Amino acid sequence: MPSETSNGTGSPSSDDQAAATQRSDGHLADGAARPWAFAVGVGVAVTAAAAVAAVVLPGRALPVAASSTATDAAHTIRLYGLLAAPVLGAVVGTAAASLIGRRTNNLDEPPPDAPPASGRPATMVGFAFTAVLVVAVVAWGLVTLTPSGAATEDPLTVRVTGHQWVWTFAYSGTKVVGTNLVLPVGRSVAFEVTSSDVTHGFHPVGLGTQVEAAPGVTTELRVTPNKLGPLTVQCTQLCGLLHSAMVTHAEVVTPSAFARWLVTQGVAPTVARTVARVGP
């Protein structure tokens, strides 16, 4: 094609030389004699920045972890962020280096052709790198999935029912049913979750886990709160008109405070102490 060859096509055996010869009007010449160095530099910088962000940002944004599950999740987020940092660095470094190499901003004329590239070595290396990351990610995922065996023999059972548009919590062993969730610290809780109408999502934010509340089904969720303080329970499955208001206050308290709270809800003190597993 005459119009393509009029600018001269770079010699395929030496693309650097080709770049050096293309300084005619409008064509930006080779901005980086060593695109590899530029790519590595940008890549390392981006990787470092992303790694710092991956370590620092979750701590600033995530709600306080109130269970070991939530801590696991936070660790997983940081780990994935750290693994992703070099991916972002490699992509940005390569992409940026491609722009500072032979480039023309001339709108009317394309630059001469680049030599074809097989790309196989780079693709193989990248593929191997990705494969290693995938293996790491899956392995870590399987580790966190494995039941830790920490679930106590003696959970506090709370029956959670999603209604349009309120949660109710029933504490087994008592007749207490309320709209606020109060949990004793350090004891495994077995949530038995269901719904009286459509599907809701039961998410005690901060406990790092959630489960669907589906009508006609009881799903179980086990978690051990390990930090005193307030939590939020929210609905995570669009459930109609007031889904947005289906957010409830929860509180993790000491076992004795839990027993006292049960008493305020009308439970006999002896029963309350038995349910809360506190001595007389």
Partner 1 sequence: MEGRATEGEEVNLSEAPLTGRFHGRPSALPVKALLATVVGVVVVAAAAWVLLAGQTYQPPSGTQVAVPLGKATVNGHVLPHVALNFSTYPFSNGTNDGAPVHPGGNRTWPATGPTPNFQVPANALVTVTVRQYDGGAALNDPWFATVRGTIGNVATIDGRVVHAINPNRVGHSFLLQSLPGAASGFFVNVPFPAVNGDWADSGKHRTIVFDFVSGPKGTYVWNCEFPCGQMIALFGSAMSTFGYMSGYLHAV
Partner 2 sequence: MTTALKLDSASTPTTWSDRVRARQGAVAGLVVGAVAAAVAWTGAHVAFEVGNWGTDRVTALTSIAWILGFNLGVGTWNPPIGWLLGWTTDPELEATEAGAAGGRSRYLRFCTDHKVVGIQYLVLGLTLLAVGGVGALLIRTQLLSPHSTFLGPTAYGDVVTLHGLSMVIGALLLLIGPFASFVVPLMIGARSVALPRLNAMGVWIMASAAVCLIATVVIGGADVGWTTFAPLADQASPAMTALAIAMVGLVACVILSGISTVATVVTMRAKGMTMQRLPVMAWGSLVAAALAVATMAGLLLVMTFVLTDRTMGTSFFVPPWGSGGLYEVMFWTMGQPLLYVLLIPPAGALLEVASSFARRPVVNPRAIVVSFIVIAAISFVTLGHHLYTAGLSPAVAGASMALTELFALPVGVVVLCLLATVWRGSIWARLPLFFVYLFLWDLVIGGVSGALLGNPTTDRSFHGGMVVTAHLHFMMVGAVLVGAAGGLVYWFPKFTGRMLDERSGRGAFWLIAFGIQLTFLAQFWAGAEGMARRVAWYEPGFQTANQISTVGAYLLTLGWVVLVWAGVWSARHGRPAPADPWRARTLEWRTPTPVPLRNFPVAPVLSEDPEATYSAWTDSSTPGAVPVGGHSNTGAGRPSAGETGGED
Burial class, 143, CB count within 10 angstroms (exposed 0-12 / middle 13-18 / buried 19+): exposed
Residue 143 in the binding site for partner 1 (CB under 8 A): no
How far is Cα of residue 202 from the mean position of the Cα atoms in its chain? 18
Beta carbon of residue 193, minimum distance to partner 1 (angstroms, whole number)? 15
Beta carbon of residue 178, minimum distance to Cu ion (angstroms, whole number)? 17
Residue 5 in the binding site for partner 1 (CB under 8 A): no
| Half-sphere exposure at residue 124, Cβ-oriented, CA atoms within 13 angstroms | 4
Residue spans of alpha helices (H) in 101-223: 120-145
The tokens for 118 are 């097989």
15 binds, among partner 1, Cu ion, partner 2, none (CB under 5 to 8 A by kind): partner 2
- Give the other-Cβ count within 10 Å of 108's Cβ: 6
The smaller minimum CB distance to partner 2, of residues 61 and 280, is found at 61
Q: Is 89 helix (H, G, I), strand (E, B) or coil?
A: helix
Residue 122 in the binding site for partner 2 (CB under 8 A): yes
Residues 6+ apart with CB under 8 A from 126: 90
Residue in 56, 134, 150, 268 binding partner 2, rule: CB under 8 A: 134
Residue 243 in the binding site for partner 2 (CB under 8 A): yes
x/- site string to partner 1, residues 92 to 131, per CB under 8 A?
A: ---------------xxx----------------------
Beta carbon of residue 110, minimum distance to partner 1 (angstroms, whole number)? 8
The tokens for 120 are 């196989």
- Binding residues among 239-258 for Cu ion as defined by CB under 5 A: 239, 246
